[in-house]
Amino acid sequence: MPYDATKMADWQISEAAERHMKPISQLQEEMGLKNDEVLPYGRIARLDFKKILDRLSSRPNGKYIVVTAITPTPFGEGKTTTTMGLLEGLGKRGKNAGGAIRQPSSGPTMNIKGSAAGGGNAQVIPLTEFSLGLTGDIYNIMNAHNLAMVALTSRMQHERNYSDIDLQKRGLRRLDIDSKNVQMGWVIDFCAQSLRNIIIGLGGKMDGITMQSRFDIAVSSELMAILSIARDLKDLRERIGRITVAYDRQGKPITTEDLEVAGAMCAFMRESINPTLLQTIEGQPVFVHAGPFANIALGQSSIIADKIGLKLFDYHITESGFAADIGFEKFCNVKCRISGLKPHVAVITTTIRALKMHGGGPRVAPGIPIPMEYTKEDLNLLEKGIPNLLHHIEIVKMSGVRPVVCINRFQSDTPDEIGLIKRYAEEKGARVAVSDHWLKGGDGALELADAVIDACNDEVRFNYLYPADLPLMERVETIAKNIYKADGVLWKPEAEVKARALEADPEKMDYYTVMVKTHLSLSHEPEWKGVPRGWTLPVRDVLIFTGAQFLCPVTGSISLMPGTSSDPAFRRIDIDTDTGKVRGLF
């Protein structure tokens, strides 16, 4: 029986469900895993991906399903909730199904968004482990990333304080690092706006070089991007060694190999290459690997997790960050290029109240009662917002993948409102399913499961948005015009100079393009809802990830370090000192 989601908070449902969760040994048996392929870690486990893939190399892949959404609103559209609900619905239909989602960052967990575990009766459990560190992947990334900065800043100090002869006695050569041309900053796994711009090295001669620096949120680190796409430990080590930390005074890149820190960085991440195994409330297996923030990072569950899932399950569901203009675009044009995998179905999550906001509905903010426009039938407002959904359907169709629209139903939704969405979406060529997974779990997701099963039988002629050899500036133009519906791209002078230099560099010709853009709008302006028209996309910089081989055009005023709100989630999180259980996570 599902739990009463109308009366219980998500953490309360999770706590109740965890009393009946399957032990790792049962999941292992049901998935057909060998003892040496499972690495227990309390109530959860890591999986030895290499042993699993080596053993199952000849097994055909299952169906590959990606979950995306419309442009996000403060309501939250429930993408992870839909992923969990679909898994539970497929389970109710007797299908062998599993999924892969991303590990939540402590930034949103302790801020507004929460832990991204799903909600109601469609959650991943155990919630506390999932939300607070899991098996340490993000911590390992922080340590490895910051170690590179330690290596850089200490080397700069020693080169200032020692002569060439003294450096040689210590087995070092002068790198001649330019303190005004440092590529990396530090990372921390919180939203901390006061760390966006900092000065380090204040003090005396032994306190380092005084220079401007910064903190980014940990999951935006190039190391997270590398973890998302790495093939194996050897590939991970090689990519870490290619990371550019800074440049010398002649403009030559200084890599982690130059700093002799790449090996130690990889040592921190040696276990992180293995995905973590959790489960839904109803016992379907879920892999957790790689991180969120598709607006400033790749934002995909890992290629390794997907490859395992496609061998173990008949239906493997993966999650891409934010909406189709960001997460799904990167999924197709970056992740699928690297992995060689091709999806069968894309599920687009939507809600009626989110579409009403895209239609011009009133502002919503934490702590303020939801305006009645979102809880009462308003077909006119809804119809004005539906173009946002239709555009995301079109984005999916550009790839040749068949879209399934999931209407994540709320109790205030009316039959006429649901009917209106169905009519427009079906006319656009999408299947449509109404799902009550938040309220009813798998029993509420049967219509969605049936629609996905049916769509998996369609022929898919998957294609990329642009050819791999298209120059960088033309790629950005193609993405802006087709995916964002911009009229064009305006390159800031310094960004254009950088982009043209990158286009002329033969070593960068095979790099992938990963856009950095707000997730709150199809445009670069978070306030522009719906499908904005008559605008130009400004590009102010291009970040270069030489380890991941990514070129990341930065648009608008987006920052790699989000800020914490005035009413963060940590105000409501506490611990029961008698039982040690965490309360208040959502």
Nearest to 426 by CA among 389, 470, 453, 456: 389
Nearest to 277 by CA among 107, 499, 520, 33: 33
Residue 366: cis peptide before it, omega within 30 degrees of 0: no
- SS3 per-residue string spanning 494-555: HHHHHHHHHHHCHHHCCCEECCECCCCCCCCCCCCCCCCCCCEEEEEEEEEECCCCEEEEEE
Per-residue tokens: 223: 């190391």
Decide if 313 is catalytic: no
Strands (DSSP E) along 89-210, which ranges? 97-101, 118-119, 122-125, 177-182, 186-188, 198-200
The active-site residue, picked from 438, 491, 535, 545, is 438
The active-site residue, picked from 46, 63, 79, 353, is 79
Decide if 79 is catalytic: yes
Per-residue tokens: 545: 């990830």
Decide if 570 is catalytic: no
For 120, other C-beta atoms within 10 Å of its C-beta total 26
Distance (Å, rounded) from C-alpha 445 to C-alpha 452?
A: 11
Decide if 102 is catalytic: yes
DSSP designation for 333: I
The active-site residue, picked from 68, 71, 81, 256, is 81
- Contact at 8 Å (CB) between 332 and 326? no
Distances (CA, A) of 53 to 93, 232, 270, 312: 27, 11, 18, 9
- SS3 per-residue string spanning 193-256: HHHCCEEECCCCHHHCCCEEECEEEHHHCHHHHHHHHCCCHHHHHHHHHCCEEEEECCCCEEEC
The active-site residue, picked from 113, 428, 485, 540, is 113
Decide if 294 is catalytic: yes
Backbone angles phi and psi of 538, in degrees to 5: -90, 135
The active-site residue, picked from 410, 422, 500, 583, is 410
The active-site residue, picked from 294, 433, 451, 455, is 294
The active-site residue, picked from 322, 331, 545, 586, is 322
CA geometry: angle 73, 116, 7, nearest 5 deg:
85
Decide if 100 is catalytic: no
Distance (Å, rounded) from C-alpha 520 to C-alpha 71?
A: 6
Distance (Å, rounded) from C-alpha 63 to C-alpha 456?
A: 7
Nearest to 406 by CA among 494, 457, 346, 488: 346
DSSP designation for 320: B
Helix (H, G, I), strand (E, B) or coil at 112: coil
DSSP designation for 37: G
| Residues with catalytic roles | 79, 81, 102, 113, 294, 322, 410, 438
